[in-house]
Amino acid sequence: MSDAVIQVKNLTRRFGEFVAVDHINFEVGAGEVVGYLGPNGSGKTTTIRMLLGLLEPSDGNATVLGFDAFKQSEQVRARAGYMSQKFAIYDDLTVLENLTFYGGVYGITDKTRIARTLELVGLRGHDSTLTRTLSAGWRQRLALGIALVHEPKLLFLDEPTSGVDPTARRAFWDLIYQLAENGVTILVTTHYMDEAEYCERVGIMRDGKLLAMDTPSNLKKNIIAGDVWEVYADPLEKGLEVLPDVDGVLSVSLAGDHLRTIVERGMKKDDLVKGLKGKNLNVRDVVVGEPTLEDVFISLAR
């Protein structure tokens, strides 16, 4: 990709013995919305801190917007926006005062630009609302506004939707897509498997390693070893015991009141049911299951 906005080569960060980020490689193109998925402690935030030049890589390098992320970090930070997990907003200031304050940090004093940012994140009319009184969803919009006030071409969002309800989460994603349509490149971290579905491409992190990066559909197609079926059978435990012995069954897990199984691709429902018959099992129903990014993650972790 010649127009890569982010280029990461063998990027590594150690803290003493601990390897927080372990030789990762990826590229992000202009206008892409890329997700960075992984549990707490998998190295997501450390990666972003290196991309912003806040941490020196122990090995490898990153080029962001054409600049070396660490050696030219000022140029990077002047052109990139960052919304951190625990964003700092002044509770005792109004929405407008917060935005004006952070604009000043970037040398933005133009009132029309600040008004434009308010408009963009849907906070117009809330200028003089005290930040303290905002709901979690609105605070999150303000934090996004602060990250956008200098009109960056690249936006880093570190777990921006942690703890907000699904309605606010969707509204937030609408904003993200709107930004992407206007040419802003977005790298967003999350530990919500289902949220990663929103992204055009998803990188999967575990223990500092980037295990895969692709579109959600390709990840499901290429990494999950087979098809997903939901098996409703009594007694459940008996099913858990006998299902793994059925020819073609690759893995089985409990899912509340039924069993979820991954079987060899193309295996017929009849064959699955036939395999279960004659094992003292009352099979009530077998239905097609949706593969998820969690299946992908678990397949990769094995």
Partner 1 sequence: MNFNPTMNNLLVSASNLKKHFGDTRAVDDVSLQIKAGEIYGLVGADGAGKTTTMRLLVGALKADAGEAVICGYDINKQTEQARAQFGYLSQRFSLYEDLTVLENIRFFAEARGLKSNEWLPRSLEILEFVGLEKFKDRRTGQLSGGMKQKLGLASALVTKPRVLLLDEPTTGVDPVTRQDFWQLVIKLVSQSKKLTAKNAKSAKPALTEVEVEQQNLSERSALRGSKISEIEEGVAVLISTPYMDEASRCHRVGLMKSGKIIAEDTPSNLRARLNNRVLELRGSPLNVLRHVANKDQDVEDVQAFGDRLHIRVGERKADDVLSRLKSAIRSEGGRVDELRAVSPVLEDVFIALSESNHE
> In DSSP terms, which residues pair with 27 in a beta bridge?
7
Residue selected from 1, 15, 136, 269 as contacting partner 1 according to rule CB under 8 A: 136
Using left for φ > 0, alpha for ψ between -120 and 50, and beta otherwise, residue 261 falls in: beta
Q: Which of residues 25-84 bind partner 1 (CB under 8 A)?
A: 33, 39-42
256 binds partner 1 (CB under 8 A): yes
267 binds partner 1 (CB under 8 A): no
173 binds partner 1 (CB under 8 A): yes
241 binds partner 1 (CB under 8 A): yes
- Closest CB 85 distance from partner 1, rounded Å: 11
Residue 234: in which H helix or E strand, if any? strand 226-234
Tally of CB atoms within 10 A around 7: 17
H-state helical runs in 163-246: 166-181, 193-196, 216-223, 236-242
206 binds partner 1 (CB under 8 A): yes
CB 192 within 8 A of CB 199: no
Number of amino acids touching partner 1 (CB under 8 A): 51
- Closest CB 266 distance from partner 1, rounded Å: 20
Relative orientation angle of helices 136-148 and 111-120, to the nearest 10 degrees: 140
- The two beta strands, 258-264 and 226-234, are antiparallel
CA atoms of 295 and 81, how far apart (whole Å): 32
CA atoms of 276 and 8, how far apart (whole Å): 49
174 binds partner 1 (CB under 8 A): yes
CB 50 within 8 A of CB 70: yes
Task: Please identify, among the stretches 45-53, 116-124, 171-179, 221-229, the one whose residues bind partner 1 according to the rule CB under 8 A.
Answer: 171-179
Task: Please identify, among the stretches 8-16, 49-57, 156-164, 221-229, the one whose residues bind partner 1 according to the rule CB under 8 A.
Answer: 156-164
Q: Which is nearer to partner 1, 118 or 175 (CB)?
A: 175
130 binds partner 1 (CB under 8 A): no
- Closest CB 223 distance from partner 1, rounded Å: 13
Tokens of 83: 């919304």
Task: Please identify, among the stretches 23-31, 73-81, 101-109, 240-248, the one whose residues bind partner 1 according to the rule CB under 8 A.
Answer: 240-248
CA atoms within 13 A on the CB side of 192: 17
177 binds partner 1 (CB under 8 A): yes
87 binds partner 1 (CB under 8 A): no
CA atoms of 298 and 193, how far apart (whole Å): 11
What type of residue is 70? F
Q: Which is nearer to partner 1, 104 or 163 (CB)?
A: 163
Residues engaged in binding partner 1 (CB under 8 A): 33, 39-42, 136, 162-168, 170, 173-174, 177, 181, 191-194, 197-201, 206, 215-217, 236-237, 240-241, 244, 250-257, 290, 292, 294, 297-298, 301-302
